[in-house]
Structure 1
Amino acid sequence: MPPKPVNTLILGAGAAGLMAAAHAGPDTLVIDHAKAPGEKIRISGGGRCNFTNLHAGPDNFLSENPHFAKSALSRYTQWDFIDLVDRHGIAWHEKTLGQLFCDGSSKEIIAMLLDEMRPADLWLNTSIDEIAHDGSRFRVALTRQGKPVTVHARNLVVATGGKSIPKMGATGLGYRIAEQFGHALTETRPALVPLTFDETTKEVFRPLSGVSLPIRTRCNGVGFDEALLFTHRGLSGPAILQISSYWREGDAISLHLRPDLDLYTALRDRRAEKGGKALATVLSDYLPRALVTQMAEAWELSGNLADQSDTALQRLCDRITDWQVTPTSSEGYRTAEVTLGGVSTQEVSSRTMESQNQPGLYLIGEVMDVTGWLGGYNFQWAWASGAAAGRAIAAQR
């Protein structure tokens, strides 16, 4: 089969790749190894796709260069994507903290992107065998549905994602492509991921599996007010997923249970009214009963509320509002929503996402060292970086 010439070849039919194709103009080919496009979009948000966040901005992203994401995010904002969603008649709602979800199915977002990228071609079940540049164009050897094919492209867009959720085919291929063309990588690690603990701590947490409550979690100077979920492996829920991006092995994390409540004042007032009740019984009015039972055993809580002095109450509340736990690890890429780190921003244009080492090479989405918070931020980075690359390619014409 003779080589197929195209202006732009996009590697990856995920959020960033499809958005780049929507802006890159005609003579664009998108390839993916999967059987269907946008698989991470499909499973996100419980099947309803948390497609952006009303509060998205550069402060919601982690990178060795915190300024890198500013350009793309400012030129394709959450409002631009919301306008696109509205134009396609997709109903949506705000859940919490600015998180926007489809009223219906995440498949509506995929269908919208496929419609926007027309007339670009899409090849699925296609793997990458070799990539080279001959001085004027990229030569990419592929296997499509079991048959070899070579594509020649003026522009090559790497939108292959990171290492997270390997059961969906994540391999870190984009990092190897970037290194091939002289790009450095920052450390990569699982992010937005549940945290795990030693066996002793697991024994404490295991009876609490399924228990959830609002907390403020802090680590390394960063904090989030979200929900905590106990699991049979350790801790999860939005609060833990958020703080996992800032946690490192050996660090303790602080759990402030019920940050919405002045617990000390509440207990002191209850002592004046119903001091004859057991301390654990009264605590169960403010915290899940199963959690209080575990606390009573582990912290040796006993006696009636009336038996507790102001000092004892303050000491207990300090413990509850700054419960220090030290994870041993995380659940890893198997359950991580994204990959922290990636291709260094040092030799990539923040305006166009084009490589400064190899003209015509663009690196977008999760493959870059830009990682968002939980809540639609990573999709917004995919839309913004994809649009930046696609528009830069279209401007060449």
Structure 2
Amino acid sequence: MHAYSSYDAIILGAGAAGLFCAAIAGQRGRRVLVIDHADAAGKKILISGGGRCNFTNIHTQADRYLSANPHFAKSALGRYSPQDFIDLVDAHGIAWHEKTLGQLFCDGSAKQIVAMLLDECDKGGVTIALGHAIRAVDHSDGRYRVTWGDRSAEAPALVIATGGPSIPKMGATGFAYDLARQFSLKVVEPRPALVPLTLGGDETLFRSLSGVATQVVARAGKTLFREAALFTHKGLSGPAILQVSSYWRHGEPVGIDFLPDAAPGWLTEAKRRQPRATVRSMLGALLPDRLASTLADRIGRDARLADTPDRVLADTERRLADWTFHPNGTEGYAKAEVTAGGISTDGLSSQTMEARKVPGLYVIGEAVDVTGWLGGYNFQWAWASAHAAGSAI
């Protein structure tokens, strides 16, 4: 038999949510153990935001998250705001700046955020055990027992903060879902999110535009995002595409407005002003050359505007305003920034993140079926859900 070390809480996962939860619980006087199979804490934080960590978004609100229960995130997000986290970053003397759309980044490096979290854990006397895979998790008599490497520990509270399977090269796995099923928690089908889309069939010709980017409005269903789209050698990427990918389902089209600033009737207006121009020349003035040529080829409008009926020009406008792509898939978890789906919110308290039917079991961060938009929203969910659980343990 193992001799079990005893703690008040064991947190599985030394990522953003796990470390922050540990710091909060530790500073409330709880004895906390964090376990992670990685050899260093916060590995995914280090690669985030191009190495500068897009640590929150000042426009955070619940409608910027996907979940089977769109109201679930409101409580935690309402009780721990972006400003609360900014105050912590400021207290640690970390310089930051706002990029577009409310996204906050470190001026220096994502390493500063990891160092801050580890410092906060130190203040709370948190024990962090790295470099050994978890071998077993058991529960009986109101105690959770965890075995990793050749060691074991037990506690009345267990926090699942192991994230989702996105970016497997960083060591990400579906371990959280295995644990959820062990404790009879439902799992909403996980899928890659914030991920590039792939094109096949006759749309493969767009791959020849690899490297071309332009500002668009991208649409999946009724959800729209205005940001840059980027053509890749596999299909479509860029912020606008990553955003709609979370809402896209196999078999559905993605619509792109290539000229979001064009006024209705712009082509017929151009016909009056520049009758000798062509659709190709008009597009060439508004879009990157290779993209303009490809779209003009697909539309097949080489006649002068003067020789083209208004109804044909109106139809061309409509096509350019909602160009339909039919992605045949995504680039998968390897390229997904996050995982959509996950442990169902149905079985969790939105106040504390505790499993309703399994006292002492908490689920936080990306492991939960709450997925934010691109741009710091997923970090804010990590902080807010960690704060909810860390304050309750």
TM-score (norm 1): 0.94
- Verify: 1:180 aligned to 2:182, yes or no: yes
Once residues 54 and 306 of structure 2 are traced to their aligned partners in structure 1, the CA distance between those partners, rounded to angstroms, is: 48
Q: SS of the residue aligned with 1:241?
A: helix
- Does the residue aligned with 1:366 lie in a helix, a strand or coil? helix
Residue 366 of structure 1: aligned partner: 366
- In the other structure, the counterpart of 2:340 is 340
- The structural deviation recorded for 1:269 is 4.2
Gaps of 5+ in 2: none
- Matched residue type, 2:48: S
1:103 pairs, out of 104, 107, 111, with: 107
Deviates more, 1:315-324 or 1:289-298: 289-298
Match of 2:250 in 1: 249
- Alignment counterpart, residue 88 of structure 2, candidates 76, 80, 84: 84
Report the Cα distance in structure 2 between the residues aligned to 1:273 and 1:371, rounded to whole angstroms. Answer: 48
Aligned position for 1:200: 202
Q: Does 1:315 align with 2:307?
A: no
Residue matched to 1:74: 78
2:43 pairs with 1:39:
yes
Q: For structure 1, which runs of at least 5 residues remain unmatched after alignment?
A: none
Instruction: Output the amino acid matched with 1:239.
Output: A
Question: What amino acid is the match of 2:390?
Answer: G
C-alpha distance after superposition, 1:121-155 (max 9, x if no partner): 11110210001112131111111xxxx11111221
Determine helix, strand or coil for the equivalent of 1:117. Answer: helix
Which among 84, 93, 99 is matched to residue 97 of structure 2?
A: 93
How far, CA to CA, are the matches of 1:262 and 1:228 in structure 2? 20
Q: Which residue of 2 aligns with 1:230?
A: 231
- Partner letter of residue 327 of structure 1? P
**Whole-Å Cα distance in 1 between the matches of residues 13 and 154 of structure 2?**
17
* 3-state secondary structure, aligned to 2:188: coil
Aligned equivalents of 2:104, 2:360: Cα separation in 1: 34
Letter in 2 for 1:299: I
Q: Which amino acid aligns with 2:133?
A: S
| 47, 62, 65: which one aligns with 2:66 | 62
What is the deviation of 1:275? 2.6
Residue 191 of structure 1 is matched in structure 2 by: 193
The correspondence for 1:121, drawn from 127, 131, 143, is 127
Match of 2:146 in 1: 140
* Seq. identity, %: 54
Q: 2 CA distance for matches of 1:5 and 1:97? A: 45
Equivalenced residue count is 387
Distance in structure 1 (CA, Å) of the matches to 2:169 and 2:326: 28
Instruction: Name the structure 1 match of 2:21.
Output: 20
Cα pair 2:299 2:316 within 8 Å, conserved: no
Aligned partner of residue 129 in structure 1, secondary structure: strand
The CA distance in 1 between the partners of 2:42 and 2:49, in whole Å, is 13
Question: Secondary structure of the residue that 2:318 maps to in structure 1?
Answer: helix
Partner residue of 1:306? 306
Is residue 166 of structure 2 the alignment partner of residue 164 of structure 1? yes
* 8 Å CA contact retained: 1:53, 1:380: yes
Three-state SS of the structure 2 residue aligned to 1:285 is helix
- Tell whether the 8 Å contact from 2:196 to 2:241 is kept in structure 1 after alignment: yes
- Native 8 Å contact 2:62 2:73 kept in 1: yes
Q: Counterpart of 2:295?
A: 295
Amino acid at match of 1:17: G
Q: Answer whether contact 1:54 1:99 (CA < 8 A) is retained.
A: yes
- Residue type of the alignment partner of 2:144: F
Deviation, structure 1 residue 263: 6.5
1:261 Cα offset (Å):
2.6
Counterpart residue identity of residue 305, structure 1: L
Moved more, 307-316 or 103-112: 307-316
Q: Which moved more, 1:42-51 or 1:26-35?
A: 26-35
The whole-number CA distance in structure 2 between the counterparts of 1:255 and 1:388 is 39
The CA distance in 1 between the partners of 2:229 and 2:168, in whole Å, is: 25
Would you say the 8 A contact 2:278–2:301 is kept in 1?
no
Offset at residue 281 of structure 1 (A): 1.8
The Cα of 1:330 is off from its aligned counterpart by: 0.7
**306-315 or 77-86, larger mean C-alpha shift:** 306-315
Q: Which amino acid aligns with 2:41?
A: P
Is residue 2:265 matched to residue 1:259?
Answer: no
Q: Secondary structure at the match of 2:70?
A: coil
Q: CA deviation at 1:359?
A: 1.2
**Cross-structure match for 1:382:** 382
Check whether the contact 1:76–1:384 (CA below 8 A) recurs between aligned residues: yes
Q: Distance in 1 between matches of 2:344 and 2:175?
A: 15
How far does the alpha carbon of each residue in 1:185-241 deviate from its partner, in whole angstroms, 9 at most, with x for none?
111111111111223211x11221011111111122111111111011010111111
Between the aligned partners of 2:98 and 2:308, the Cα distance in structure 1 is 44
Could you tell me how far apart the structure 1 residues matched to 2:222 and 2:273 are? Answer: 38
Shift of 1:117: 1.3
For 1:113, the aligned partner's letter is: L
> Letter of the aligned partner of 1:205 in structure 2?
F
Q: CA deviation at 1:280?
A: 1.1
Deviation, structure 1 residue 56: 0.4
CA–CA separation in structure 2 for the residues paired with 1:63 and 1:367 = 12
CA apart distance, 1:296:
2.3
Any runs of at least 4 consecutive aligned residues in structure 1 with deviations exceeding 3 A, and if so which?
267-274
Residue type at the aligned position of 1:310: D
Displacement, 1:86? 1.1
| Distance of 1:196 and 1:357 partners within structure 2 | 41
